[in-house]
Structure 1
């Protein structure tokens, strides 16, 4: 087996029909299975350790399961294999990673559960490692809302440069590097912006960065939609499977990036704006009562 084949093994249904196959690639299936196992182990330990907060942990577990299911569906189901031949499927896969799986996983707050799955000695070692000055400085820099938005935006735009995009289609390592950068920067982006317990939320900043992200991803989608030439001819090889011309496939992919993804970012911005207004009204009412 070649090196690239190791990264792109598929189980197909029907000879000559890899477009409907399930992708069973060890660099993808092993981390997915390991994360699910670790989460289950940590959740059981926390459940046995304390009865407090169980309703919250159940909600978080459901969010994690939903995010993990979407992530697995995007990377293992026939969507992935289709994405190597049909640009629209490829775009749908990317949006599932960045705009659906990532916010669900972040909303689940899985870090504590995953850490509790580890042995005590390893937990202590990780605590010391994460407290290192260099790592702390890098994290403070990356986790600023503006920086997280820029990092996520760079990952989206740079991988849509034709030479890089088509390199990711031809070779396994760049392909999974592309997915890892999309998912990793999306997790950072949503972690910084979504509200969570124990942190004072800057709703105004989060709304602005979500709105900006909606704008620039929508712009990329519009460029794909309106372009008179193909950006990635190699990714349009199977457009006929959906009775589309290669250019129509690109236009549909641009529409997917523009509208559904834009609705996610825009909807999240509206939700946070509502929370911002409600929080401000509650604070004003509390301040008014104190002044009486």
Structure 2
């Protein structure tokens, strides 16, 4: 695979061509439509509350933005765009779908700590040079990366948003995920040299050196990616306080 060529999103576009670089892959659209139809049928069977439907619609909108909009093509040029693309998948689309589709009983048997570990492995593996280069060698490898990132995040979000799970374990899982993503982001931000050969010749048209692009990617992984996890952790902490209020003195000493 030559530099700047993505097996799915295509060659890195120049800035003046970016606005027209939409991805109307008929197979992708057909798959999205088929999965959406299956989700709608599943929703009826499981009688998911109508108020949760907007979460699924918002999740589909995020996936369309990630794969159909020019962001897909921009990710061929900029590693930071690729990281932003992945942030959309794991920190926005995944929790939205998890809100719409709670876990089945069989998945509730998987410990939350195991899901944290699986998701962390996926994040670290696909954002290191060797596996990242492998993911851009073929369309199959590319979709292996995308699917593993999204599915591992989706299962983790299902677990932490499930009220049947212990709130303390869910809170610990969210904070552990924030820490590991922050560490990965910090390593990318403070690396002394660019690490990803794929983007060595594609960033300059956008006014960035490869190292600038990598540092921006690290900051995206470090800070914005953590926001949804921290927001969920804050809501969980508030729920724990409501469930177990701090004991107060009912009488005053005389």
TM over 0.5: yes
| Contact 2:9/2:73 (8 A) holds in 1 | no
User: Looking at both structures, which has the greater relative contact order when contacts are Cα pairs under 8 Å and sequence separation is at least 6?
Assistant: 2
The equivalent position to 1:61 in structure 2, one of 53, 77, 81, is 53
2:244 is matched with: 280
Offset at residue 153 of structure 1 (A): 0.6
Offset at residue 222 of structure 1 (A): 0.6
1:83 is matched with: 75
In structure 2, C-alpha distance between the alignment counterparts of 1:204 and 1:66, rounded to whole Å? 28
1:156-183, Cα deviation, whole Å (9 max, x unpaired): 1111221110121232111111000000
2:31 is matched with: 31
Offset at residue 20 of structure 1 (A): 4.7
1:68-111, Cα deviation, whole Å (9 max, x unpaired): 11012112211111111111110000000000000000001277
Q: Secondary structure at the match of 2:8?
A: coil
Which residues in structure 2 correspond to 1:67-146 (within 5 Å)?
67-109=59-101, 139=107, 143-146=110-113
2:143 is matched with: 176
Aligned alpha-carbon RMSD (Å):
3.1
Cα distance change on mapping 1:241 and 1:25 into 2, 3 Å: same
1:175-210, Cα deviation, whole Å (9 max, x unpaired): 1110000001001111111134xx2x3111111111
In structure 2, C-alpha distance between the alignment counterparts of 1:208 and 1:111, rounded to whole Å? 19
1:252 is matched with: 216
Q: TM-score, normalised by structure 2?
A: 0.83
In structure 2, C-alpha distance between the alignment counterparts of 1:189 and 1:226, rounded to whole Å? 28
| Contact 2:9/2:76 (8 A) holds in 1 | no
Cα distance change on mapping 1:275 and 1:183 into 2, 3 Å: same
Offset at residue 13 of structure 1 (A): 10
Which residues in structure 2 correspond to 1:95-244 (within 5 Å)?
95-109=87-101, 139=107, 143-196=110-163, 199=164, 201-244=165-208
Q: Secondary structure at the match of 2:244?
A: helix
Cα distance change on mapping 1:281 and 1:146 into 2, 3 Å: same
Cα distance change on mapping 1:100 and 1:269 into 2, 3 Å: same
In structure 1, C-alpha distance between the alignment counterparts of 2:99 and 2:89, rounded to whole Å? 14
In structure 2, C-alpha distance between the alignment counterparts of 1:186 and 1:23, rounded to whole Å? 24
1:244-267, Cα deviation, whole Å (9 max, x unpaired): 111101000100000001222122
In structure 2, C-alpha distance between the alignment counterparts of 1:87 and 1:225, rounded to whole Å? 12
Cα distance change on mapping 1:9 and 1:25 into 2, 3 Å: farther
How many residues align structurally?
Answer: 242
Cα distance change on mapping 1:9 and 1:260 into 2, 3 Å: closer
| Contact 1:166/1:235 (8 A) holds in 2 | no
Gaps of 5+ in 1: 47-52, 113-129, 131-135
